[in-house]
Amino acid sequence: MNRTFDFVGLNTVISEAFRPLENVNGAAARKAGMEAGMRGTTPSNCHHSYFASEELEKEWYHGYRLAKQNLN
């Protein structure tokens, strides 16, 4: 059985995943963190853009902790 690998497709997926999100602010980071805390982490709610600065990272973790507290 021969298998081929689509390197072009893989490159496209990686490029999209590492493209910075537009209009990321503290509220968006907090919302993504809350979603991650409630539903689990996904590529969209843990995108690297939410961790691009210390302020955004703090907001993401703040939302994550709020969600976890509300679940318990």
pLDDT tens figures, 1-60: 577 766 777 777 677 777 888 889 999 999 999 999 999 998 889 999 999 999 999 999
Cut 0.75: pTM above it: yes
Going by the DSSP 8-state scheme, the letter that residue 20 receives in this structure is P
Structure tokens at 13: 């997926």
21 three-class SS: coil
Distance CA 51, CA 72 (A): 26
